[in-house]
Structure 1
Amino acid sequence: DNNSATKNQFIVKDGIVEPFSVDNSGFQYHFTLSMNLTNYRYPFEDLIASIVIWMQANQPDAMISLQSRQQAIKFNIANIIGNQCDLTIELTLSERIKSIQQQDKLEFNSLTDRIILQEPLEKYGY
């Protein structure tokens, strides 16, 4: 890809854990994923379009309302030189986890936002 950056850095920040089930066996991570791309070549519309498509498929609750969409994807540009820049993209993400006792061990399953939005919560014991 001729738009690739010379250096990539991914950082998770502002993480919190929130229980969401009555028995506290389910919890949700909320965090910001910061992607720092150094010397990224213009244009970056393809990159942003890919991120929006990924967010719609994997984080649909972040794309439902105008307010959540405005917070879901942020970007900053610095060090603009010629057709390159340092690009930082921040994604506000979440992941729901449900623990299930399987024989003698506790297993953790990710419940995607799509599952949560399409199926009743009662199915998961809430």
Structure 2
Amino acid sequence: MDYELKNKLVKIISKNILTPVIYMIENDNLLDFICFCDRNIKMQEIYNVEQQIKEVTNKNVEIIDIREFGESERIEVINQATLIYSEHPLIEKIFAQSMMEDFKIAMDERKDVQQRYKECGTCYLQ
């Protein structure tokens, strides 16, 4: 996908959806846009933006809030997707660091469960 088309898609998304970052995963017939969406956004607004992008690209489109992913999936998104929009370079770094911290916390919790199991033979999830 060329720069002009990406820029056009970013304008469509950022005009309608309040998000500081937009990641994109492009497949043969599908475009996934992963955003950090405003919690107050209505699904109809997201659907309308998906339709606008579909008209431009002739591909199926999904816009997904990154908070729908688990910690490990978020790291995968950051590693595999292409960052096509960031309000400011600092926001991109803060966002990536936050995702890494969430992943670290999840791994520490798993480690604690395994340790409790080794110590007493049972484990419980909090």
User: What TM-score comes out, normalization by structure 1 length?
Assistant: 0.27
- Higher helix residue share: 2
- Higher strand residue share: 1
User: What TM-score comes out, normalization by structure 2 length?
Assistant: 0.27
